[in-house]
Amino acid sequence: MEFWPLIYELCEGFSLTLKLFALTLVFSIPLGFICSFAAMSPFKPLSWLMNGIIWIVRGTPLLLQCIIVTFIPSTLLDMPNKDFAAMLHIDTMADLQFLFVLIAFSLNYACYFAVIFEGGIKNVSVGQHEAGQVLGMTKGQIFRHVILMQVVRKITAPMSNEIITLVKDTALARALSVVEIIAVAYQNVNKFAVLSPLIYASVFYLAFSGILTIVFHLVEKKLSYYTV
């Protein structure tokens, strides 16, 4: 196999990596925000339940969670994955496997983001709430105009770390037959010198992670102007 066909295949695999990365963020960030408020809820049963779920998810490997999700149709629903795919009008088993991986990734990162959001909200001084109340602001106005920007500034660094970790975690999708960039590289190790496809895949990851690092650095620098 020649060089350019390999690069083309790696680009196709990387497009699936980007798809998994982007969709995970789309689902996990809002879900993490909801989970953070549930974890801080004054209604203790809800708070205990949410904190318990977060503890379990953060304390178990993401790969194990991916595998568990793939067995949900056959265990809880007593339905083969092929029939489950037909029920959801999913055309191929590859698409179903991608869906399983996306669900596991979204739930996993939602729990990590929930802890970050909770920490950011709790670290805002109580005096900021009180100052807003003195000015006659409602709770919603206090959150939008006083709290939110401070929370965003406080969580940017830990969020950036988790998001870059997500980039690398997408390689776990290969274990469930999702043909992302690592799977493509591994399929080609016998057609080239063994390390070549893996080195090229590493370059893709390094380039993407490097771009994200620069973007987050610029965001942090911009938000530093809002220091209270």
- pLDDT computed for residue 177 by the predictor: 57
Catalogue all structural domains in the chain, each as residue range(s) with its CATH number.
3-226 (1.10.3720.10)
Give CA–CA dist 196/189, Å, rounded: 7
- pLDDT computed for residue 183 by the predictor: 56
- pLDDT computed for residue 35 by the predictor: 96
Burial class (CB in 10 A: 0-12, 13-18, 19+), 161: middle
- pLDDT computed for residue 182 by the predictor: 60
- pLDDT computed for residue 165 by the predictor: 93
* pLDDT one-digit tens code per residue, 11-57: 777 888 899 999 999 999 999 999 999 999 999 999 999 999 999 99
Burial class (CB in 10 A: 0-12, 13-18, 19+), 88: exposed
CB 200 within 8 A of CB 185: yes
Q: Which residue positions in the chain have pLDDT lower than 70?
A: 1-6, 77-78, 125-126, 175-195, 225-228
- pLDDT computed for residue 185 by the predictor: 59
CB 1 within 8 A of CB 191: yes
Using the CB atoms, write b or e for 20-42: b if 16+ within 10 Å.
bbebbbebbbebbbebbebbbee
- pTM (2 decimals)? 0.83
- pLDDT computed for residue 225 by the predictor: 65
- pLDDT computed for residue 51 by the predictor: 96
Please measure the distance between the N-terminal and C-terminal CA atoms of the chain and give it in whole angstroms: 58
Give CA–CA dist 48/71, Å, rounded: 27
Counted residue by residue, the chain has a size of 228
